[in-house]
């Protein structure tokens, strides 16, 4: 009872501190008073964070502190991005070995070979339904707000107008070919998550077909590698708050507030649509599948915060896998669903694509009928799956879509001015959506009967 009351007091103090910080932001026109309010809020929040001794709390504090540093000292903030890059490199080192170990041992070591096809089908169906709903919600939101109407494209961007088909879709055949690895070392080096997952599935299947005498020694090695990678993840995550603060500090310091004014309505529309996606899709799914809401929020809080601050889903992948396993989802399901979700279940990216594409049409003064918008959403649904893993994939998709519907590319280039702020929410939704997918598939497979009930997490999540 005492710990519950203490936790409640901590949350009350945190909310008050955030309100004080918000007042400091509102008083930005009075520099001395506004800065004093924000600094006091950050100092009190630091004290509360130290008392909680939670990595999630430290990450949240670092995000606010980084944003403040970026606003007050942009000259310093723009040089801190190297810290986020170091963190990203450390995470990329462990992603491929982690997937290889967890997925291979899950299939070959736990007798899940017969279940693999069923789980794959359920996973892909779930991915398709959720990403389609995300596209629809984004389209409805931008049609309601009409954020593109009245926005004037800067002359400099109009002058840069070129063929809109730059970065066209790579084609289904090329995508299908790219799913299968030609060289495992090259796939790991290029961080081709889907290729590593496909190799792991085939490798695990091959091991499962061997005699126990030949299978056990290699499985023991892979199991040890997997355990070491999870420990490696825990070590790296101590650096996560610093990396999160540095990344957001760089974003705020390098952008400048002037770029936000013309596109403020688009930002509000996107985050409003994101909130709608959570309430209309995520929460009902959890209720229907009887996934404990509070426990799930605790499990995904830290990886989602890291993804939000760094704007890179890869940074959250190892921790997301660890947290969902602690949440009660079997390791082999986690190691299949979450990596494949990085190619097929980008809910945040889907929400953004429909919002940005229709926004571009509104800026250009082009009226799209309901049928044209439906065809556009179908195009986005297909192309978003077809260039998974390609750098700047969303930009390529938008450019290709603009070419298909004869839209100018200048409004899309204009969106890039606030893409960093949108990308934070987009990435956070991608991370949370993939974690939810793992929990849903785990429930479908009767995880509660084989492992700890979903939501009864180990204490490491709360510590």
User: Residues 140-187: pLDDT tens digits?
Assistant: 999 998 887 876 665 544 554 554 444 444 456 766 777 788 888 888
In terms of average pLDDT, the best of 27-41, 149-163, 392-406 is 27-41
Is-above-0.85 flag for pTM? no
pLDDT at residue 432, as a whole number:
93
| In contact, 142 and 269? CB cutoff 8 Å | yes
210: left (phi over 0), alpha (psi -120 to 50) or beta: beta
Q: ∠ CA(345), CA(317), CA(357), 5° rounding? A: 35
Report the distance separating Cα 167 and Cα 107, nearest Å. 37
In terms of average pLDDT, the best of 59-63, 188-192, 429-433, 449-453 is 429-433
Helix axes 193-208, 172-179, angle to 10 degrees: 50
pLDDT at 322 over 80: yes
Q: How sure is the predictor about 391, in pLDDT bands with cuts at 50, 70 and 90?
A: very low
Task: Answer yes or no: are the C-beta atoms of 338 and 434 closer than 8 Å.
Answer: yes
Residue 463 banded pLDDT, cuts 50, 70, 90: very low
- Residue 416 tokens read as 């890039």
Whether 283 and 452 have beta carbons less than 8 Å apart is answered as no
pLDDT of residue 169: 44
| Greater pLDDT, 194 or 226 | 226
Q: Looking at 327-406, list the stretches that DSSP marks H as alpha helix, in order from N- to C-terminal side.
A: 331-344, 347-363, 370-386, 393-404
Taking only the tens place, the pLDDT of each residue in 403-417 is 777 787 777 777 766
Cα Rg for the chain, rounded, in angstroms? 23
Q: Which residues contact 217 (CB under 8 A, 6 or more apart)?
A: none
Q: At what angle do helices 293-310 and 55-72 cross, to 10 degrees?
A: 30
């Amino acid at each position: 009872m005492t710990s519950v009351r203490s936790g409640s007091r901590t949350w009350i103090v945190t909310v008050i501190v955030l309100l004080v910080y918000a007042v400091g932001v509102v008083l930005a026109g009075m520099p001395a008073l506004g800065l004093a309010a924000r600094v006091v809020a950050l100092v009190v929040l630091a004290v509360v964070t130290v008392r909680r001794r939670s990595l999630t709390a430290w990450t949240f504090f670092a995000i606010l502190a980084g944003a403040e540093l970026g606003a007050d000292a942009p000259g310093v903030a723009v040089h801190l991005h190297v810290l986020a890059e170091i963190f990203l490199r450390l995470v990329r080192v462990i992603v491929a070995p982690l997937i290889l170990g967890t997925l291979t041992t899950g299939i070959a070591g736990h007798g899940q070979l017969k279940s693999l096809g069923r789980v794959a089908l359920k996973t892909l169906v779930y991915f398709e339904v959720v990403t389609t709903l995300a596209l629809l919600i984004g389209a409805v939101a931008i049609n309601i707000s009409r954020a593109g109407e009245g926005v004037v494209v800067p002359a400099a961007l109009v002058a840069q107008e070129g063929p809109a088909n730059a970065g066209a879709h790579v084609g289904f055949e090329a995508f299908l070919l790219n799913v299968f690895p030609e060289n495992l070392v090259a796939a790991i080096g290029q961080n081709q998550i889907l290729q590593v997952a496909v190799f792991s599935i085939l490798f695990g299947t091959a091991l499962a077909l061997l005699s126990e005498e030949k299978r056990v020694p290699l499985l023991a090695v892979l199991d040890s590698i997997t355990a070491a990678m999870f420990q490696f993840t825990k070590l790296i995550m101590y650096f996560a708050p610093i990396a999160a603060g540095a990344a957001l500090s760089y974003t705020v310091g390098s952008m400048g507030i002037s770029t936000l004014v013309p596109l403020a309505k688009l930002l509000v529309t996107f985050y409003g649509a994101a909130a709608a996606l959570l309430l209309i899709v995520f929460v009902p799914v959890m209720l229907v599948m009887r996934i404990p809401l509070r426990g799930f929020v605790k499990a995904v809080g830290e990886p989602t915060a890291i993804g939000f601050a760094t704007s890179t889903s890869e940074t959250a992948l190892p921790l997301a896998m660890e947290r969902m396993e602690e949440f009660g989802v079997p390791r082999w399901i986690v190691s299949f669903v979450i990596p494949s979700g990085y190619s097929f279940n980008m809910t945040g990216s889907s929400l953004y694509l429909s919002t940005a594409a229709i926004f571009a049409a509104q800026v250009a003064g082009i009226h799209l009928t309901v049928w044209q918008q439906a065809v556009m959403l179908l195009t986005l649904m297909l192309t978003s799956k077809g260039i998974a893993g390609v750098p700047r994939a969303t930009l390529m998709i938008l450019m290709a879509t603009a070419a298909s519907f004869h839209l100018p590319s200048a409004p899309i280039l204009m969106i890039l001015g606030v893409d960093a702020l949108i990308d934070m929410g987009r990435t956070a939704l991608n991370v949370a959506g993939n974690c939810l997918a793992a929990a849903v598939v785990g429930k479908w497979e009767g995880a509660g009967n084989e492992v700890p009930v979903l939501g009864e997490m180990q204490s490491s999540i709360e510590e």
